[in-house]
Chains A and B, each alone.
Chain A
Amino acid sequence: MYFWLNRFMHDIEVQNLVKTFREKGKVITAVDGISFSVRKGEIFGLLGPNGAGKSTTINMLTGLLEKDSGTVKILGFEPEKNWEFVKNSSNVATAYSWLSDVLSIRQNLRVYARLYGVKNHEQKINELLELFELKDIGDRKIIRLSSGENTRAVLCKGLINSPKVLFLDECTVGLDPDIADKTRSIIKGYQQKNDCTILFTSHYMYEVEELCDRIAFMSDGKIISIDTSSNLKKLIKKHTVEIAVKKDVKLLKEFLKTEGVDIIFEKDNGIVFEVTTEKDKMYKIISKIFHKGFMLSNLHVKGPTLDDIFIKIARRK
């Protein structure tokens, strides 16, 4: 019963959130009345082009920026009214802000562990350094770290208080693919083990797709759409098909023209074409190609990706 009730609880609730800035006498609306809620134990992605309002939103949720209007509730409480509880139960990691650069990783973590009132903090610090493969360089100053090491150090700080709500703002920027993959596994593992709620922003679409249960697309300070990645991808009716034939490229080209298909480009013994339609029509065309007796040497179908949605939104802007 408790488990099911938990599923319906929202750890992050945002209602009509607005933030404007004044710049040279002009009022710029950075966040324009957005509303969303994140369920307990959910990883929620916030996506959008630069200037969409993602970081402004996170800054308001974490108390670094004052909102103009709207309400924010974290774990059921307004942060301004329940400062201690909300701050001690949440944490933030971003690649764009460092820990104190003249301190070592371990010294920084000691400071933050004390700030959050973490018990047995040396043990916790050792566990985190081990987890993020930083144990050997734990005594190295932040200023001497590579950007990937710095990002991992920030993630250690983000988990120092075992937060119930975690804000991750572009937290895998600068990591090499292997470490980025491990980091995503650690985040996912931590979330599953602790039933933690995560608000996640990233420019890497595959990462968002891999991690997030639901995604909100932002543009010009507004939320365009909120859904799962598979439902969002349905917004784009586009499939790209790459076909290589052993011969008769010309005939294939003519056939595709009669089917009303846009050919993106041709290459040696092959054609890459785009079908701007539902899956069904694409399968019909491929099936006809087989029936016409074309000898295929390669066939590769690529469905719409979150990148396509991102680009579409960015260009519309």
Chain B
Amino acid sequence: MKIHRINALLLKYYYITINRVDRLFDIIYWPVLDLFIWGFTALYIQKLSDVNVLSMLMGAVILWVFVWRASQDIAVFVLEDFWSRNLYHLFTSPVRLSEHLVSIIIIGFLRALATFALMWAVGMVFYAFNILDISPLLISFSVLLLTIFGWAIGLFVAAFIFRFGQRIQVMAWSVTFLLSPFACVFYPLSALPEWAARIASVIPATYVFEALRAMINGIPVNQAGLLYSLISSIILFVAMAFFLQQSFIKSKKTGLLAKGA
């Protein structure tokens, strides 16, 4: 793996981010809009309840950004190269798949941090909500955990794109949303019916949002749950990286990489 090639790809994704309105909307428009919708909803519910709904919903929306951005950016930046028929030039150059992925992961994380900073500022200005007041340690740990989980989802989708091509590109936007009802982002695990709770209990992100709510409500955090979350996210990440590598090799055998390029 060569740093100068990772830097070159980072430059490319930076150019895509500043040149393409869609990619700017990803980090500014949708997250801020989401924050306003949930913020106003929380303010309304807050009047009807004693529970700190604002902190719970706003904290959840801001943290979910890391899963959302980390997963979607990997898939969308892989798709960008398919859309512009640029894979040919990319993979006939000295670039290795690992360098390609590391650069996408880094740019995805930087974009997630930019979104996080923007949402933190919007939360402070419009709702006097500072997510770091909850617990800087828990928030930092949650960011790390959710990002790894998001990368694992992104790698899973990218593997499918390399295996089946653009026809399954809808997965880039839908997989994270498919998971969100079961990740207990906005409600506790106990609120789910039994069948859904079973699914939720194996999703690593569930324990992060449970911990967030516990911290806000002043009850003990499920540390074992967070440990499970960290270990399972890392295992998932490694497994999906392997799956992606296999899909890439397969696409070189079947000719999809050359055709898609």
Q: A interface, how many residues as a size bin? A: 35 or more
A66 in contact with B85 given A87-B93, A111-B12, A114-B4 (CB within 8 Å) = no
Interface check B139, CB cutoff 8 A? no
Q: Count B-side interface residues using an 8 Å CB cutoff.
A: 35
Interface check B113, CB cutoff 8 A? no
Partner of B11, one of A94, A110, A167: A110
Partner of B92, one of A55, A92, A102, A107: A92
Residues in chain A near residue B252, CB distance under 8 A? 64-66
Interface check A290, CB cutoff 8 A? no
| Smallest Cβ-Cβ distance to B81: which chain A residue | A100
Q: Name the prevailing secondary structure of the A interface residues.
A: mixed
Residues in chain A near residue B16, CB distance under 8 A? 100, 102-103
Contact A63 B92 (CB under 8 A): yes
Interface check B65, CB cutoff 8 A? no
Partner of A100, one of B12, B94, B255, B261: B12
Partner of A88, one of B81, B94, B258: B94
Tell me how far the C-beta of B94 lies from the nearest C-beta in chain A, rounded to whole angstroms. 4
Partner of B94, one of A55, A116, A141: A116
Partner of B254, one of A21, A55, A107: A21
Q: Measured between alpha carbons, how far is A107 from B9 in the docked complex, in Å? A: 11
Contact A98 B85 (CB under 8 A): yes
Report B5-45 CB contacts with A as 1/0, cut-off 8 Å. 10111011001100110000000000000000000000000
A100 in contact with B92 given A66-B252, A111-B11, A117-B4 (CB within 8 Å) = no
Partner of A112, one of B80, B85, B93: B93
Tell me how far the C-beta of A65 lies from the nearest C-beta in chain B, rounded to whole angstroms. 5
Contact B7 A157 (CB under 8 A): no
Interface check B257, CB cutoff 8 A? yes
Interface check A83, CB cutoff 8 A? yes
Chain A residues numbered 118-159 whose CB sits less than 8 Å from any CB in chain B: 141-142, 154, 157
Q: Measured between alpha carbons, how far is A84 from B94 in the docked complex, in Å? A: 6
Partner of A66, one of B12, B249, B261: B249
Contact B86 A100 (CB under 8 A): yes
Contact A64 B261 (CB under 8 A): yes
A64 in contact with B91 given A21-B255, A111-B15 (CB within 8 Å) = yes
Chain B residues numbered 51-102 whose CB sits less than 8 Å from any CB in chain A: 80-81, 83-89, 91-96
Interface check B47, CB cutoff 8 A? no
Contact A116 B93 (CB under 8 A): yes
22 A-B pairs (CB sep. < 8 Å): A55-B258, A64-B92, A64-B257, A65-B258, A84-B94, A87-B93, A88-B94, A96-B85, A98-B84, A100-B80, A100-B86, A101-B85, A102-B15, A103-B15, A103-B16, A107-B15, A107-B19, A114-B8, A115-B5, A115-B8, A116-B93, A141-B19
A-side residues, CB < 8 A to B, are: 21, 55-56, 59, 62-66, 83-84, 87-88, 91-92, 94, 96-103, 107, 110-117, 141-142, 154, 157, 167
B-side residues, CB < 8 A to A, are: 2, 4-5, 7-9, 11-12, 15-16, 19-20, 80-81, 83-89, 91-96, 249, 252-255, 257-258, 261
Q: Lowest 8 A-B CB distances belong to which pairs?
A: A114-B8, A97-B88, A87-B94, A101-B84, A62-B92, A115-B8, A59-B258, A111-B12
